[in-house]
């Protein structure tokens, strides 16, 4: 078995807004359908709530923060799932059921296993 | 003698690699072990001669090398590999031919996995299925050896880390997965047949490799229409190869080729394979079947002047409806010019770009005795190979001569 981080990239939406309720319920259904494989998951607040943190020079240097996301793109990181699957093909089959796969894009990344 | 040994080692090496990858579950480790075994063979065999069963010799040696590598890894770090691999490696029995065939298919489908980029698939196929060195692959793919090595390393890392399964797709997915495999084989052949740069007009080795892989895939999946169509296309194209260059190494265009030089056996086998492929696929013809049908149409014509251009135009129109590539558009225009005259061909090339488009437009303009425009077009066509450059220069001189006597000579 291999662990994959499944990242959803979609329009930068506020999932707490009432108009998102319909789509959010599709994600909840996905979560129930794949409960056995999903080990962790999170839905994120919109990127307008994000803060980028940098430390100047080296450790202990001045902490500099910027308002907003790290990269301005049309599709924003809106959530993630930690999934355990037999292999990449199974992980792709699971990821392709996420609404983000047709509303945006889903990135599937293998997780380095602790030894 | 050395060439025979090197060839045996390279081809048998691929077969044992496929099985070793399954046994050790690691592409890199299996490649290292096979590499060690082939080096040992290249050192030993010139003195001892090729053993009666070279594959058995290489298998046993590669397994021993793999065990050495696994033991060394274990001793170095506390990287605990499953002991099952060592147990399986120390088994003395050789795999049955069926297992070797299955393993080869697994290797083919893994190298051509849709989650790898198309150039990575080609590079992996050349490395693991053809046994070419990174330097040779870099030559073929028009890149540097360092870039090729990096690409291969990343591919092996992805296969291992992302856990791309080492298996033949289930029957239901086979139709979806075969196009990627066939595309790799076809692009190997086309890059061998018409390299984008370089001195030689084509690289014989790569064409041979592509045909070998096409034979292999067809042999492994004889019921599947797409691999038969690819093999048919390659054989029908390759059949004309002896006539494509003259003694000086210059390109001979189809209209001027000596058709007695064409390989009749390859043509009849190609046509039989194409017919078989068409019979097996009930649905719409795929691009390989259509291209093979076009090649077959040329192969059937005893002379250029009695080519069935209507049928070829019809086939290109079908091809454009399923795979509208620039090369197909160009060929469609050329066939149309033959069927309905140069003006009809030129009309199809309006607003089209590309070096070959300019060269074709130049030829069609010359046929309409519009030599000044033809010279203009040809000077915009950037020749890719030295042979092509010489061909352009000859055309250019011909056009200027005709232009100065206004078509009266």
The string over B183-198, giving b where at least 16 C-beta atoms fall within 10 Å of a residue's C-beta and e elsewhere, is: bbbbbbbbbbbebeee
Interface of A with B (CB under 8 A): 2, 4, 86-89, 92, 108-110, 112, 115
**Nearest residue to B174 (alpha-carbon basis) of B118, B128, B111, B221:** B221
Among A1-15, B185-199, B391-405, whose mean pLDDT is lowest? B185-199
Which chain A residues are closer than 8 Å to B115 by Cβ? 88, 92
Cα(B44)–Cα(B212) distance, integer angstroms: 27
Which chain A residues are closer than 8 Å to B106 by Cβ? none
**Using the beta-carbon criterion (under 8 Å), do B163 and A108 form an inter-chain contact?**
no
Is A47 within 8 Å of A69 (Cβ atoms)?
yes
pLDDT at B98: 81
A and B: number of Cβ contacts within 8 A: 22
Which chain B residues are closer than 8 Å to A110 by Cβ? 161-163
3-state secondary structure of B358: helix
Interface of B with A (CB under 8 A): 79, 115, 161-165
What is the least distance, in Å, from the CA of A110 to any CA of chain B? Answer: 5
pLDDT at B81: 54
Q: Is the pLDDT of residue B387 over 80?
A: no
Report which DSSP code applies to B304: G
What is the least distance, in Å, from the CA of A12 to any CA of chain B? Answer: 27
Return the CATH number of the domain spanning residue range A2-110.
3.30.70.1060
Task: Put the strands of the sheet holding A2-10 in their side by side order.
Answer: A38-43, A76-85, A2-10, A105-110
Is B107 within 8 Å of B129 (Cβ atoms)?
yes
Chain A residue with Cα closest to B161: A110
Banded model confidence at residue B383, pLDDT cuts 50, 70, 90:
confident
Minimum-distance CB partner of B163 among A87, A112, A115: A87
**Using the beta-carbon criterion (under 8 Å), do A88 and B79 form an inter-chain contact?**
no
Cα(B246)–Cα(B201) distance, integer angstroms: 11
- Quick count: other Cβ atoms within 10 Å of Cβ B93? 5
Q: Is the pLDDT of residue B196 over 50?
A: no
pLDDT at B204: 46
pLDDT of B249-305, one tens digit each?
778 889 999 999 999 999 999 999 999 999 998 767 999 999 999 999 999 999 999
**Using the beta-carbon criterion (under 8 Å), do B79 and A108 form an inter-chain contact?**
no
Percent of chain A with pLDDT over 90: 90
pLDDT at B406: 61
Q: Is the pLDDT of residue B194 over 70?
A: no
pTM: 0.80
Banded model confidence at residue A115, pLDDT cuts 50, 70, 90:
low
Chain A residue with Cα closest to B160: A110
What is the least distance, in Å, from the CA of A92 to any CA of chain B? Answer: 10
**Nearest residue to B189 (alpha-carbon basis) of B246, B130, B273:** B130
Mean pLDDT of chain A: 93
Percent of chain B with pLDDT over 70: 91
Which residue do the tokens 């959803």 mark? A8
Chain B residue with Cα closest to A109: B162
What tokens appear for B139 in the block?
């030559």
pLDDT at B2: 60
Cα(B163)–Cα(B114) distance, integer angstroms: 13
Write a three-state SS string for B210-274: HHHHHHHHHHHCCCCHHHHHHHHHHHHHHCCHHHCECCCCCECCHHHCCHHHCCHHHHHHHHHHH
pLDDT of A72-96, one tens digit each?
778 999 999 999 999 999 999 999 9
Write a three-state SS string for chain A: CEEEEEEEEECCCCCCCHHHHHHHHHHHHHHHHCCCCEEEEEECCCHHHCEEEEECCCCCCCEEEEECCCCCCCCEEEEEEEEEECCHHHHHHHHCCCCHHHHCEEEEEECCCCC
Is A9 within 8 Å of A90 (Cβ atoms)?
no
Mean pLDDT of chain B: 87
Is A44 within 8 Å of A14 (Cβ atoms)?
no
All structural domains of chain A with their residue ranges? 2-110
Q: Is the pLDDT of residue A57 over 90?
A: yes
**Using the beta-carbon criterion (under 8 Å), do B162 and A89 form an inter-chain contact?**
no
**Using the beta-carbon criterion (under 8 Å), do B162 and A110 form an inter-chain contact?**
yes
ipTM comes to 0.87
Cα(B229)–Cα(B178) distance, integer angstroms: 12
Cα(B209)–Cα(B184) distance, integer angstroms: 12
More confident residue, B115 or B247: B115
């Amino acid at each position: 078995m291999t662990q994959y981080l499944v990242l959803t990239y979609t329009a930068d939406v506020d999932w707490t807004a009432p108009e998102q309720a319909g789509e959010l319920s599709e994600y909840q259904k996905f979560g129930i359908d794949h409960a056995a494989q999903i080990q962790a998951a999170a839905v994120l607040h919109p990127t307008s709530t994000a803060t980028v943190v940098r430390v100047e020079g080296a450790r202990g240097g001045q902490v500099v923060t910027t308002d907003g996301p790290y990269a301005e793109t049309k599709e924003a990181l809106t959530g993630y799932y930690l999934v355990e699957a037999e292999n990449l093909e199974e992980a792709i089959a699971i990821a392709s059921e996420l609404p983000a796969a047709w509303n945006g894009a889903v990135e599937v990344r293998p997780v380095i296993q602790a030894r | 003698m050395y060439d025979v040994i090197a060839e045996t080692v390279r081809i048998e090496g691929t077969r044992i690699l496929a099985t070793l990858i399954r046994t050790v579950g690691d592409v890199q480790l299996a490649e290292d072990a096979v590499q060690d075994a082939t080096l040992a063979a290249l050192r030993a065999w010139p003195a001892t001669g090729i053993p009666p069963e070279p594959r058995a010799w290489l298998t046993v040696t590669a397994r021993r090398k793999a065990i050495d590598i696994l033991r060394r890894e274990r001793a170095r770090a506390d990287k605990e590999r499953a002991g099952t691999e060592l147990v399986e490696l120390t088994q003395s029995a050789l795999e049955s031919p069926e297992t070797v065939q299955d393993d080869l298919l697994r290797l083919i489908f893994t190298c051509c996995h849709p989650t790898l980029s198309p150039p990575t698939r080609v590079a992996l196929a050349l490395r693991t299925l053809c046994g070419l060195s990174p330097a040779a692959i870099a030559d073929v793919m028009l890149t540097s050896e360092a870039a090729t090595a990096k690409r291969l390393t990343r591919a092996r890392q992805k296969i291992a880390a992302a856990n791309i399964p080492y298996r033949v797709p289930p029957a239901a997915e086979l139709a979806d997965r075969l196009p990627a495999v066939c595309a790799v084989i076809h692009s190997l052949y086309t890059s061998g047949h018409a390299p984008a740069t370089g001195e030689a007009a084509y690289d014989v080795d790569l064409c041979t490799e592509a045909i070998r892989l096409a034979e292999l895939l067809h042999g492994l999946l004889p019921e599947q229409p797409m691999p038969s169509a690819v093999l048919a296309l390659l054989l029908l194209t390759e059949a004309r190869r002896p006539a494509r260059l003259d003694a000086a190494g210059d390109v001979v265009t189809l209209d001027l080729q000596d058709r007695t030089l064409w390989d009749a056996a390859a043509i009849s086998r190609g046509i039989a394979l194409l017919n078989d492929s068409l019979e097996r696929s009930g649905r719409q013809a795929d691009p390989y079947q259509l291209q093979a049908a076009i090649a077959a149409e040329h192969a059937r014509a005893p002379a250029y002047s009695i080519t069935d251009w209507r049928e070829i135009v019809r086939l290109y129109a079908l091809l454009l409806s399923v795979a509208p590539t620039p090369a197909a558009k160009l060929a469609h225009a050329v066939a149309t010019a033959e069927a309905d005259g140069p003006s009809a061909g030129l009309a199809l090339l309006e607003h089209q770009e590309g070096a070959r488009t300019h060269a074709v437009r130049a030829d069609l303009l010359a046929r309409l005795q519009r030599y000044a425009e033809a010279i203009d077009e040809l000077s915009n066509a950037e020749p890719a190979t030295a042979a092509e450059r010489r061909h352009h220069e000859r055309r250019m001189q011909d056009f200027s001569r005709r232009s100065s006597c206004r078509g009266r000579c």
